[in-house]
Amino acid sequence: MARNKPKSRTVTKHTRGQATQKAGDRRAERSPTTRAVPQRVAGRRQAQKSEQATQRLLRAVTQAQSLYIDEAKPEQVFSSLLQELLDLTGSEYGFIGEVCWTAERVPFLRTHAVTDIAWKEEAKALLARSAPNLEFHNLKTLFGHVMTSGRPVIANDPAHDPRAGELPPGHPPMHAFLGLPFYRGELLTGMVGVANRRGGYDETVVAYLAPFLATCAQLLEGCRHRRLRAEAETALRRSEERWRLAVRGSHDGIWNWNITTGEVFVSARWKAMRGFEDQEITGSFKVWREGIHSDDRDRVLHAVDVYLAKQSPEFCEEYRVRRKDGSYIWVLDRGVALWDDRWARSTRAARRSPISSR
C-alpha cells in the first residue's frame, strides 16, 4: 500500500495538468483578441476587394477619357464605356443613351451604345441599319420611368414590377434591371441601363457607379458640342460657297463691312467698277469714305449713322465715287445689317453698276 501512494499522486498530478491546459484553451477561445482575428482578416479582404473595384472603375473612366481626348468617334467612346459598365456590374446586356426632347418637351431615348441582343431578323436589320443611334419613345417601361422620374430605377423582379412594360416576343429574358440617370447641372441629359446581374442590383451598386455616371455626362456633353460645332462648320462652308457663287455671278459690286472688327471685304467686281485690278486695292472703310465725292460725302455718312441708329429700315443711297483715273461714276448703294442684341455686327450690301442716266 505504501508503494502505491506515489503512483496515485503521479496520476493525480498528470490529470490536473491536462485540466489546467484545457481550461487555458477555453479561456483563449473566449478571449476578445482571439475572436477579433477572423474579423480583421475578413475586413482586410473586404477592403482589398473594395480597392480593386475602385481601381477597375478608375481605369474604365480613364480609358474612356483617353479615347475622347484622342478624338475617337463617339460610337467608339461609348461602346468602350458600355463594355466597362457591363464588366463592372457583372451584367449581361445594357445601353448608354442620351435623353432628347420632342417639341412638346416629351423625353425620348437616343442610344449611343447598345448591346447586340437582336432576337429575330427584323431586330437584326434594325440594329444593322440604325445602331448605335436607336430611338425609343415608349415611356411606359423601366427605362422610361428613369426619364420621367429623373431617379434611379432598381427592378429585381421585372416580370412583376408595375413600372415595366412588356418585352417584345423573343426578347432575351430580363431577371433584373438597373437604370441610372445622369445630369449636366440640373438638366437630365442621359441614362444608362443594365440587366441580369447575378443577385440583382442594390443601392451599393448605385453609389459605386456615381463617378462612372459623372464621366458619362461629361463625355456626352463633349461629344454633343463636337457634333454641333461640326454641323455649324458644315453649314458655314455651304453658306460661304453659296456666297462665293453669288458674288461671281453678280454684275454688282459686293461689299461686307464687319463693324466690330473694322474688316471690309469687297468683290473683284466692286474694284473693277472703280477701274482697279483685284490686287491693286484693298477694302477698308477709309478707302470707301475717301472715294465718295466731296459734295456727297456728308449726306452718305449721315445716312449710314441714321441706319445704324435704327432710324431707317435700310441703307440706300445714290452717290458719286472716284475711279482710278480720277473720273467719277454714279452708283446705287444698298446695305442691310446683321444685329447682335442692340448693335450691328456686320453690314452686307450690293453696289450696283454705274447709273447711265447720270
Tens digit of pLDDT for each residue in 270-281?
Answer: 898 899 998 898
* 302 — pLDDT class (breaks 50, 70, 90): very high
Average pLDDT, the chain: 82
pLDDT in tens, 48-104: 777 777 888 878 788 878 877 777 788 888 999 999 999 999 999 999 999 999 999
pLDDT exceeds 70 at position 351: no
CB atoms within 10 A of CB 27: 10
pLDDT of residue 43: 61
pLDDT exceeds 50 at position 156: yes
Rounded mean pLDDT of 318-343?
Answer: 86
Q: Taking a C-beta distance cutoff of 8 angstroms, is the pair 270, 254 a contact? A: yes
pLDDT exceeds 90 at position 327: yes
Which residue from 180, 221, 183 is spatially nearest to 82, judged by alpha carbons? 180
pLDDT of residue 305: 92
pLDDT exceeds 50 at position 37: yes
pLDDT of residue 2: 46
Please report how many Cα atoms fall inside a 13 Å half-sphere around the Cα of residue 334, on the Cβ side.
6
pLDDT exceeds 90 at position 192: yes
Burial 140-169 (b: 16+ CB within 10 A, else e): ebbbbbbbeeeebbbbeebeebebbeeeee
pLDDT in tens, 194-243: 999 999 999 999 999 999 999 999 999 988 888 888 888 888 888 888 87
Task: Select 251-351's CATH number: 1.10.287.130, 3.30.465.10, 3.40.50.800, 3.30.450.20.
Answer: 3.30.450.20
What are the domain boundaries of the chain? 50-229, 251-351
Q: Is 220 exposed, middle or buried (0-12, 13-18, 19+ CB in 10 A)?
A: buried
Does CATH place domain 50-229 in 1.10.730.10?
A: no
* 356 — pLDDT class (breaks 50, 70, 90): low
pLDDT of residue 101: 92
Q: Taking a C-beta distance cutoff of 8 angstroms, is the pair 54, 203 a contact? A: no
Q: Which amino acid is at 4?
A: N
* 191 — pLDDT class (breaks 50, 70, 90): very high
**Cα separation, 234 vs 241, whole angstroms:** 11
pLDDT in tens, 311-326: 988 889 999 999 999 9
The two domains 50-229 and 251-351 share their CATH topology (first three levels equal): yes
Of 4-8, 249-253, 340-344, the range with the highest mean pLDDT is 249-253
pLDDT exceeds 50 at position 1: no
Q: Is 127 exposed, middle or buried (0-12, 13-18, 19+ CB in 10 A)?
A: middle
pLDDT exceeds 60 at position 24: no
For the record, the C-alpha cell of 208 comes out as 459605386
